[in-house]
C-alpha cells in the first residue's frame, strides 16, 4: 500500500509530487509512460512557458526541468516507461513495464495527471483519400523536435489553436512552406501572441471560417480542397479552393485522457471531458484527485502547476485525515460561460474559480449570483474561448449559499 | 517451377493458398501491392452472411451457405476471432415485410438453417436500440462477424508456414504459355508454374486478357463506411440490415469483433479502379440511413471513415471456371465473398483435383498460433511472456493497449508487415481513438530498425507513401 500514487509525470504530475512532498508526504510514486519526466513539455521547444510562475520566458523542456530537478533533489520515486492500464474505484492501480511486467499497486490517495490526447482527423469525416502525409499537429511536433525528421515540405494546417500556430512556425523554420492555416470558427482559438509570432511574422495566411472539405492524393497527399463555411459552419460549395500540398496537419482539439478515470467510476463532465471536482480538485471518489490537462485543457502550464499544487495539498490533507467536506455548493453556468473548474465547492474558504467562455465577448461583467443576489461582479473588456480566465470568490461571499450561478452580463 | 501460382493475396487467394498448402504442391502467391489483403478484403462489412440473399442455384448461394458453416472451425484453426452474433433484416412497412418473406423463402431454398421472422415486440427486446418504428425482421442466427484482413493474413501466414511462397510488389504484366505450364511475368521477375489461379479481384479481367480471354469484365462498385468508437460497440448485438433494394443489401449497422460499431456501405457503381475516396454525400447518406434505423447513432463518436471497392463481375454470379488447361478464374467475388471464401477454396480444391494429383502432406499443420495470444492470455501467462521477452511489457499503442512485443511479432512473423498499415492491420496499433497520432512515431522507428532502413524510407502502405519528407540537419535521433 502506497500513500500517494501520481499517474503521469508531466508538469501536473511533477508539480503535484513536489507540493505533496512539501506538505509532508514522503511515500510518493510517480508512474510515467515515457522514458523521462516532462510530459508534452519535452517536445514544446518554443518559449513562453513560466511567465506567470517564474517571471521568466522558458522553453517547455526548461520549465519541465525546473520541476524535474525538484523531484530528483527530493528523491521522489518514479517508475518510467510504465503505462497504467487500469484504475479501480478502490484505488488499485494496474500498470506494466519491461522490468516489472504487469503489476498492481494499492494507493491511499491517487492524483490523476494523465494529460490529454489530440482529436484525430478521422473524427471529422473529411471526404477524400487516406494517403501518407496526414499528421496530428502533436505527432508532427514529435517527429521534428524529438526525432529530427521533417514530416513534409508543403503544408496546410487545419486548426488555429496554439498547437496549430506553433507548428506553422516550426515547419517554416525547418524549411517547409506553410500555405495556410484554416480555422473553422470566425476567430482563432490560440493566444494572441501566437498569432503575431507564428503567423503574421512569417506571412502565413490565417483563413478564418474555413475548413478542409477534401484531401487529395493516392499514396502521398497531393493537395486539399478548402472552403469557407457559413454561420452554421457548413462549407459553402461555391467558395471551394484547391491548395497543392504534400502534408496536412490537424490541430482540431485536445481531449482529456480519462479512460482510467472512467474505469474507476469517477464522474466526468461532458463539457470539459474531465472529472467533476471540488475546489481541492477532489473527484467524486474520495482520495482521487485530478489536475492539469486531464481535468480541463489549459492554455498556460503555469496554471497547470498552480492547479497541481492545489490537488497535492488537498491529497496531503486527506492522507493526514484533515480537510473534511462541510458543504456541497454546485456551480452552474449560463452557457456564455462554458464551464467552471471547480464544478462544486465543498469547504468554506476562498476559492479561485477558473472558467472558459463559449464565444468572444466584449465589455462584459463576470457575475456570480446565488440565484437571486449578485455576490460578485468584475468587468472584462474582452473574453475569448482560447484564454482561460479566473476570479477569486472570497469565503464571506459564499457563507450562506447553497448554489452558485456564473454568467456574463452586459457591462 | 511452381505447381500452383495464385495471383492476388486477398481473402480468396489466401483461403485457396491455405487449403492447397495441405497438399504436396509448390505454391506461389503473387501480390501487386506491398502487403496482402489490400483490396476489397480490407474494406468491407466483415460479415459472414447466412446465405439468404443470393438467388437460388447460384454459386453465390451455394458457396455462401457452405462457407458460413465452415467459418467457425477455420477461424479457430487460424487463431482469428469469429463471433456468431446473428443478423436481422429489419422492415418498416408491409411492403418491406413482403420482401422479407421472399428472403425467407430464398433462404430456405438455399439451405440456410434456423431462419425466422421476428415481430416488433420480441425484436425490440433483442435490440433495444432499434427505431421504435420497426415492424418485424428476418432473423438469421447462423450469420457471424469476423475481421476479414486478420483472416486473410492468418490464412497466408499458415500457407507460408506450410511452405507456400509469397511475393509482394509483383504486378503481373504478362502471362505466356510454355513448358507444361505458364510463365507469369512482372517487369522485374518471371515465375514458372503449372497452374495459374486468377484471384486478382478488381483486376481479374485484366489478368484474363493477358491470356486472351475477354469473356468477362469486372467493374468497381464503391462502398463507403464510417467506424465508431468502441464505446458504441454495445449498442447492437446483431448485424442490422435494412430491407434490400436493387443496388444491394443496403446500409447496415454492425458490431465488429473488435468491439467497434461499423456503419455502411453505400453502393455506387464506378469506373475508376483506384478511386477509394470517401465523399461528403456518401458519408451523409450513411448517417441518415442508420439514424432512421436506430434510436440513436452517436455520430460524434466517429473514429474514421473509408471506402472499399467491390469487384463486380458482369455475369451476376461468382466467375469460377477454367478458360483453358491449367488456368482457373476465381473472379467477381463481391458480397458474399468473405462468407463464401472457405467454400470457394474447397470448390477450387475440387476443380484442381481434376487438373493435377493432390497428395496430402504428412507434416501439414492447419493450426496457426493466435495473434491474439498475448492480448487474451492470463495475467500469469502475460508475465511469463514478459520475463522471456520484455518488449511485451512496453505499451506502444495506448488506445488499443498494444505492446512493442506484438508489433515486433507482426514485423517478423509471416506474412511480415513492412509498412505502417501492415502493422496496423496485424496488431490494431493505430486503429484506436487517436488513429496513430501517439504511436505513429514509435512504430515508424520500430519498422526502420527491423527492416534496417532509414526512418524516412518507412511508408504507410508501400510505393510512394513515405511518411516523412526528410531529416533535419543533425540527422534522425533515436
CA dist B370 and B388 (Å) reads 18
A146 and B383: CB-CB below 8 Å?
no
- Reduce the DSSP state of residue B229 to 3 states and report it: coil
Q: Please, which residues have CB within 8 angstroms of residue B465's CB and are 6 or more apart in sequence?
A: A131, A132, A219, A220, B419, B459
Please give the C-alpha separations between residue A324 and each of A110, A136, A347, in angstroms, as whole numbers.
17, 43, 8
- Write down the pLDDT at residue B62: 97
Q: What is the pLDDT along chain B (478 residues), one digit of tens a residue?
A: 999 999 999 999 999 999 999 999 999 999 999 999 999 999 999 999 999 999 999 999 999 999 999 999 999 999 999 999 999 999 999 999 999 999 999 999 999 999 999 999 999 999 999 999 999 999 999 999 999 999 999 999 999 999 999 999 999 999 999 889 999 999 999 999 999 999 999 999 999 999 999 999 999 999 999 999 998 999 999 999 999 877 667 899 999 999 999 999 999 999 999 999 999 999 999 999 999 999 999 999 999 999 999 999 999 999 999 999 999 999 999 999 999 999 999 999 999 999 999 999 999 999 997 766 788 889 999 999 999 999 999 999 999 999 999 999 999 999 999 999 999 999 999 999 899 999 999 999 999 999 999 999 999 999 999 999 998 876 666 5
CA of B470, closest CA in chain A: separation in Å?
5
B302 and A122: CB-CB below 8 Å?
yes
CA dist A80 and A73 (Å) reads 17
Q: List chain A residues with CB under 8 Å of B466.
A: 132, 220
Question: If phi over 0 gives left and psi between -120 and 50 gives alpha, with beta otherwise, what is residue B401?
Answer: left
CA dist B137 and A310 (Å) reads 57
- Cell 510463365 found at: B183
CA of A96, closest CA in chain B: separation in Å?
6
Q: Which residue of A10, A102, A127 to mutate against B (max B Cβ within 10 Å)?
A: A127
- B97-114 burial code (b ≥16 CB/10 A, e <16): bebbeebbebbeebebee
Give A177's strand partners. Answer: A154
Pick from A306, A313, A289: nearest CA to A8: A289
For the sheet with A389-393, list strands across it. Answer: A337-341, A351-357, A389-393
Q: Please, which residues have CB within 8 angstroms of residue B84's CB and are 6 or more apart in sequence?
A: B72, B141, B142, B143, B144
Q: Does residue A127 belong to the interface with chain B, where contact is any CB pair within 8 Å? A: yes
Answer yes or no: are the C-beta atoms of A117 and B433 closer than 8 Å: yes
Could you give the ipTM of this predicted complex? Answer: 0.93
B379 and A102: CB-CB below 8 Å?
yes
CA dist B413 and B161 (Å) reads 10
CA of A410, closest CA in chain B: separation in Å?
33
- Cell 521568466 found at: A56
Pick from A138, A132, A361: nearest CA to A253: A138
Q: List chain B residues with CB under 8 Å of A33.
A: 395, 398
Quote the distance between the C-alpha of residue A65 and its chain's center. Answer: 20
A120 and B433: CB-CB below 8 Å?
yes
CA of B233, closest CA in chain A: separation in Å?
16
CA dist B46 and B80 (Å) reads 13
A216 by Cβ neighbours in 10 Å (0-12 / 13-18 / 19+) ranks as: middle
- Write down the pLDDT at residue B179: 82
Answer yes or no: are the C-beta atoms of A131 and A218 closer than 8 Å: yes
Residue B99 has, within 13 A of its CA and on its CB side, a CA count of: 18
- Reduce the DSSP state of residue B390 to 3 states and report it: helix
- Write down the pLDDT at residue B370: 75
- Cell 418504428 found at: B133
Quote the distance between the C-alpha of residue B289 and its chain's center. Answer: 24
Identify which of A117, A131, A132 has the shortest CB distance to residue B437. Answer: A117
Q: Which residue of A97, A98, A153, A256 to mutate against B (max B Cβ within 10 Å)?
A: A98
Q: Just list the catalytic residues of B.
A: 49
Identify which of B393, B438, B472 has the shortest CB distance to residue A144. Answer: B472
CA dist A339 and A390 (Å) reads 11
CA dist B38 and B173 (Å) reads 19
Answer yes or no: are the C-beta atoms of B199 and B207 closer than 8 Å: no
- Write down the pLDDT at residue B473: 74
Helix B337-353 × helix B11-20 angle, to 10°: 40
Q: Which residue of A45, A120, A171, A252 to mutate against B (max B Cβ within 10 Å)?
A: A120
B434 and A101: CB-CB below 8 Å?
no
DSSP string, A15-41: HHHHHHHHTT---EEEE-SSSSS-GGG
B466 and A117: CB-CB below 8 Å?
no
Q: Please, which residues have CB within 8 angstroms of residue A373's CB and are 6 or more apart in sequence?
A: none
- Reduce the DSSP state of residue A118 to 3 states and report it: strand
Identify which of B391, B434, B467 has the shortest CB distance to residue A118. Answer: B434
Q: Which residue is closest to A99 within chain B, CA to CA? A: B390
Residue A399 cell numbers, joined: 457563507
Compute how many other C-beta atoms are within 10 angstroms of the C-beta atom of residue B292. Answer: 13
Q: Does residue A148 belong to the interface with chain B, where contact is any CB pair within 8 Å? A: yes
Q: Does residue A153 belong to the interface with chain B, where contact is any CB pair within 8 Å? A: yes
CA dist B291 and B304 (Å) reads 18
Taking the CA atoms of chain B, what radius of gyration do you get in angstroms? 22
DSSP string, A79-135: E-S-EEEEE-TT-EEEEEETTTEEEEEEEEEEEE---EEEPPGGGG--EE---B-EE
CA of A368, closest CA in chain B: separation in Å?
33
A102 and B437: CB-CB below 8 Å?
no
Q: What is the pLDDT along chain A (411 residues), one digit of tens a residue?
A: 999 999 999 999 999 999 999 999 999 999 999 999 999 999 999 998 999 999 999 999 999 999 999 999 999 999 999 999 999 999 999 999 999 999 999 999 999 999 999 999 988 989 999 999 999 999 999 999 999 999 999 999 999 999 999 999 999 999 999 999 999 999 998 888 899 999 999 999 999 999 999 999 999 999 999 999 999 999 999 999 999 999 999 999 999 999 999 999 999 999 999 999 999 999 999 999 999 999 999 999 999 999 999 999 999 999 999 978 888 999 999 999 999 999 999 999 999 999 999 999 999 999 999 988 999 999 999 999 888 999 999 999 888 899 999 999 998
Quote the distance between the C-alpha of residue B265 and its chain's center. Answer: 14
CA dist B81 and B92 (Å) reads 33
Compute how many other C-beta atoms are within 10 angstroms of the C-beta atom of residue B81. Answer: 18
CA dist A305 and A302 (Å) reads 5
Compute how many other C-beta atoms are within 10 angstroms of the C-beta atom of residue B366. Answer: 16
Q: Does residue A125 belong to the interface with chain B, where contact is any CB pair within 8 Å? A: yes
B437 and A246: CB-CB below 8 Å?
no
- Write down the pLDDT at residue B371: 63
CA of A200, closest CA in chain B: separation in Å?
24
Q: Does residue A410 belong to the interface with chain B, where contact is any CB pair within 8 Å? A: no
A150 and B276: CB-CB below 8 Å?
no
A123 and B302: CB-CB below 8 Å?
yes
Sign of the Cα pseudo-torsion (A271, A337, A167, A63, in order) = negative
Q: List chain A residues with CB under 8 Å of B463.
A: 219
Residue A89 cell numbers, joined: 474505484
Amino acid at each position: 500500500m502506497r500513500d500517494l500514487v501520481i499517474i503521469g509525470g508531466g508538469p501536473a504530475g511533477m508539480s503535484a509530487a513536489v507540493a505533496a512532498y512539501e506538505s509532508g508526504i514522503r511515500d510518493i510514486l510517480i508512474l510515467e509512460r515515457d522514458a523521462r519526466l516532462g510530459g508534452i513539455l519535452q517536445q514544446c521547444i518554443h518559449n513562453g512557458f513560466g511567465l506567470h510562475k517564474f517571471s521568466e520566458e522558458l522553453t517547455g523542456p526548461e520549465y519541465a526541468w525546473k520541476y524535474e530537478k525538484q523531484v530528483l533533489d527530493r528523491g521522489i520515486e518514479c517508475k518510467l516507461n510504465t503505462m497504467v492500464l487500469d484504475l479501480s474505484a478502490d484505488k488499485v492501480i494496474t500498470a506494466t513495464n519491461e522490468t516489472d511486467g504487469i503489476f498492481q499497486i494499492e494507493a491511499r490517495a491517487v492524483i490523476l495527471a494523465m494529460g490529454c490526447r489530440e482529436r484525430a482527423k478521422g473524427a471529422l469525416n473529411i471526404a477524400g483519400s487516406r494517403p501518407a502525409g496526414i499528421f496530428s499537429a502533436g505527432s508532427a511536433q514529435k517527429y521534428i523536435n524529438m526525432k529530427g525528421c521533417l514530416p513534409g515540405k508543403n503544408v496546410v494546417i487545419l486548426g488555429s489553436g496554439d498547437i496549430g500556430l506553433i507548428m506553422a512556425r516550426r515547419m517554416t523554420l525547418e524549411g517547409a512552406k506553410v500555405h495556410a492555416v484554416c480555422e473553422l470558427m470566425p476567430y482563432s482559438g490560440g493566444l494572441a501572441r501566437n498569432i503575431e509570432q507564428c503567423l503574421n511574422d512569417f506571412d502565413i495566411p490565417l483563413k478564418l471560417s474555413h475548413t478542409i472539405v477534401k484531401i487529395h492524393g493516392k499514396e502521398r497527399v497531393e493537395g486539399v480542397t478548402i472552403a469557407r463555411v457559413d454561420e452554421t459552419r457548413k462549407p459553402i460549395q461555391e467558395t471551394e479552393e484547391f491548395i497543392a500540398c504534400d502534408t496536412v496537419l490537424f490541430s482540431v482539439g485536445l481531449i482529456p485522457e480519462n479512460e482510467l478515470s472512467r474505469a474507476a467510476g469517477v464522474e466526468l463532465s461532458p463539457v470539459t471531458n474531465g472529472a467533476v471536482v471540488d475546489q481541492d480538485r477532489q473527484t467524486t471518489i474520495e482520495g482521487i484527485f485530478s489536475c492539469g490537462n486531464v481535468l480541463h485543457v489549459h492554455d498556460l502550464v503555469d496554471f497547470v502547476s498552480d492547479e497541481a499544487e492545489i490537488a497535492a495539498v488537498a491529497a496531503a490533507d486527506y492522507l493526514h485525515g484533515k480537510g473534511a467536506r462541510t458543504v456541497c455548493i454546485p456551480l452552474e453556468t449560463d452557457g456564455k460561460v462554458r464551464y467552471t473548474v471547480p464544478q462544486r465547492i465543498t469547504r468554506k474558504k476562498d476559492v479561485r474559480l477558473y472558467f472558459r467562455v463559449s464565444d468572444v465577448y466584449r465589455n462584459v461583467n463576470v457575475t456570480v449570483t446565488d440565484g437571486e443576489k449578485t455576490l460578485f461582479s468584475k468587468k472584462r473588456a474582452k473574453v475569448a474561448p482560447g484564454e482561460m480566465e479566473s476570479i477569486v470568490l472570497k469565503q464571506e461571499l459564499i457563507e450562506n449559499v447553497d448554489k452558485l450561478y456564473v454568467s456574463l452580463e452586459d457591462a | 517451377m511452381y505447381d500452383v501460382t495464385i495471383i492476388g493475396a486477398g481473402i480468396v487467394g489466401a483461403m485457396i493458398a491455405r487449403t492447397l498448402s495441405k497438399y504436396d504442391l509448390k505454391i506461389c502467391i503473387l501480390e501487386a501491392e506491398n502487403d496482402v489483403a489490400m483490396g476489397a478484403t480490407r474494406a468491407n462489412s466483415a460479415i459472414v452472411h447466412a446465405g439468404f440473399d443470393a438467388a437460388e442455384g447460384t454459386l453465390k448461394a451455394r458457396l455462401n451457405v457452405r462457407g458460413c458453416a465452415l467459418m467457425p472451425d477455420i477461424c479457430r484453426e487460424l487463431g482469428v476471432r469469429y463471433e456468431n452474433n446473428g443478423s436481422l433484416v429489419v422492415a418498416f412497412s408491409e411492403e418491406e415485410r413482403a420482401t422479407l418473406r421472399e428472403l425467407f423463402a430464398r433462404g430456405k431454398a438455399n439451405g440456410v438453417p434456423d431462419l425466422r421472422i421476428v415481430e416488433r415486440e420480441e425484436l425490440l427486446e433483442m435490440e433495444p436500440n432499434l427505431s421504435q418504428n420497426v415492424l418485424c425482421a428476418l432473423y438469421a442466427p447462423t450469420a457471424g462477424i469476423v475481421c476479414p484482413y486478420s483472416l486473410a493474413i492468418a490464412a497466408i501466414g499458415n500457407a507460408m508456414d506450410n511452405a507456400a511462397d509469397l511475393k509482394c510488389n509483383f504486378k503481373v504484366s504478362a502471362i505466356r504459355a510454355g513448358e507444361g505450364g505458364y510463365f507469369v511475368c512482372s517487369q522485374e521477375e518471371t515465375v514458372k508454374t503449372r497452374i495459374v489461379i486468377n484471384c486478382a479481384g478488381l483486376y481479374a479481367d485484366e489478368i484474363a486478357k493477358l491470356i486472351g480471354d475477354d469473356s468477362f469484365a469486372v467493374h468497381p462498385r464503391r462502398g463507403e463506411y464510417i467506424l465508431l468508437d468502441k464505446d458504441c460497440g454495445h449498442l447492437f448485438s446483431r448485424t442490422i440490415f435494412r430491407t434490400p433494394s436493387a443496388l444491394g443489401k443496403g446500409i447496415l449497422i454492425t458490431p465488429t469483433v473488435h468491439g467497434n460499431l461499423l456503419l455502411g456501405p453505400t453502393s455506387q457503381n464506378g469506373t475508376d479502379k483506384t478511386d477509394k475516396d470517401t465523399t461528403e454525400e456518401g458519408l451523409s447518406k450513411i448517417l441518415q440511413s442508420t439514424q432512421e434505423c436506430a434510436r440513436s447513432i452517436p455520430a460524434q463518436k466517429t473514429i474514421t471513415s473509408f471506402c472499399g471497392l467491390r469487384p463486380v463481375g458482369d455475369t451476376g454470379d461468382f466467375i469460377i471456371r477454367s478458360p483453358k488447361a491449367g488456368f482457373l478464374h476465381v473472379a467477381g467475388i463481391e458480397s458474399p465473398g468473405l462468407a463464401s471464401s472457405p467454400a470457394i477454396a474447397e470448390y477450387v480444391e475440387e476443380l484442381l483435383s481434376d487438373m493435377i494429383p493432390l497428395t496430402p502432406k504428412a507434416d501439414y499443420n492447419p493450426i496457426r498460433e493466435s495473434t491474439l495470444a498475448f492480448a487474451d492470455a492470463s495475467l500469469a501467462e502475460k508475465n511469463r511472456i514478459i520475463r522471456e521477452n520484455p518488449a511485451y511489457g512496453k505499451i506502444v499503442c495506448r488506445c488499443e493497449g498494444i505492446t512493442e512485443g506484438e508489433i515486433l511479432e507482426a514485423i517478423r512473423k509471416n506474412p511480415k508487415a513492412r509498412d505502417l498499415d501492415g502493422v496496423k492491420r496485424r496488431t490494431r496499433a493505430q486503429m484506436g481513438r487517436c488513429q496513430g497520432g501517439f504511436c505513429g512515431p514509435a512504430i515508424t522507428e520500430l519498422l526502420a530498425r527491423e527492416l534496417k532502413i532509414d526512418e524516412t524510407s518507412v511508408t504507410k502502405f508501400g510505393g510512394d507513401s513515405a511518411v516523412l519528407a526528410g531529416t533535419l540537419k543533425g540527422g534522425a535521433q533515436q
